[in-house]
Amino acid sequence: MPTYVDIFPLIRDNKMWLGYGFKGGAAHFINEHYEDYATAGDHREGMIRVSGVVWYSNLDLNKRHEDLILYQKYEGNEDKYPTYDNYDAIEVSETRNIPMDYKGVMGVPVSFMDKYNPDQFEISGSNRGVNQDPNVIYGCGSYLNGKETFKRLFIRNKKI
């Protein structure tokens, strides 16, 4: 999770980013002393499948500079992008729904990191654990209609 206190500032300041991950978003490790109840197509005795494993790097990668193609529009669809109760930003529940025409701050899922291009977006904060945005209380969650959301990164589109 890219919101840990020591890690998040490095990501926000573009000193560290996601490298190339594992095939299928999961790593496989061999441990003969662990009883694994999970199933997978390439499962072997003693194999542990760990989902969501990523590499962090400071080596520049081509994928890091690929623009995320944006298809959605905010204007005319404001009802699809609610504003947080406690922060002046809109909720974007899926990376693919980031609007192309919104100038303000957006809360996006942490899975956005896989598509993050520092030439296209800036990361200003997070709603959990660590916060670098002075407009949000440290460690504060983000709320929609009184209900706390999942972990979010706060971003802004730099190309608008």
Establish if 29 belongs to a structural domain.
Answer: yes
Q: Is 92 exposed, middle or buried (0-12, 13-18, 19+ CB in 10 A)?
A: buried
User: Which of 6, 34, 54 is the last residue in one of the domains?
Assistant: 54
Domain with 49 in it: 21-54
Last residue of a domain, one of 29, 54, 79: 54
Say what the pLDDT of residue 155 is.
95
Mean pLDDT of the chain: 83
Count: domains in the chain: 2
Q: Are 151 and 52 in contact (CB under 8 A)?
A: no
Of 24-28, 71-75, 84-88, 119-123, the one with minimum mean pLDDT is 24-28
User: Can you tell me whether residue 65 is helix, strand or coil?
Assistant: helix
Residue 149 and residue 144: Cα distance in Å, rounded? 7
Pairwise CA distance, residues 28 & 89, whole Å: 38
Is 131 inside any structural domain?
yes
Q: Which residues contact 118 (CB under 8 A, 6 or more apart)?
A: 14, 17, 64
Q: pLDDT band for 72, please (50, 70, 90 cuts).
A: very high
Say whether both 48 and 120 belong to one domain: no
Inside any domain, residue 1: no
Overall size of the chain counted in residues: 160
pLDDT (average), residues 1-9 = 69
Q: Quick check: 45 pLDDT over 60?
A: yes
Q: Residue 69 corresponds to which tokens in the numbers above?
A: 């193609």
What mean pLDDT is predicted for residues 11-21?
89
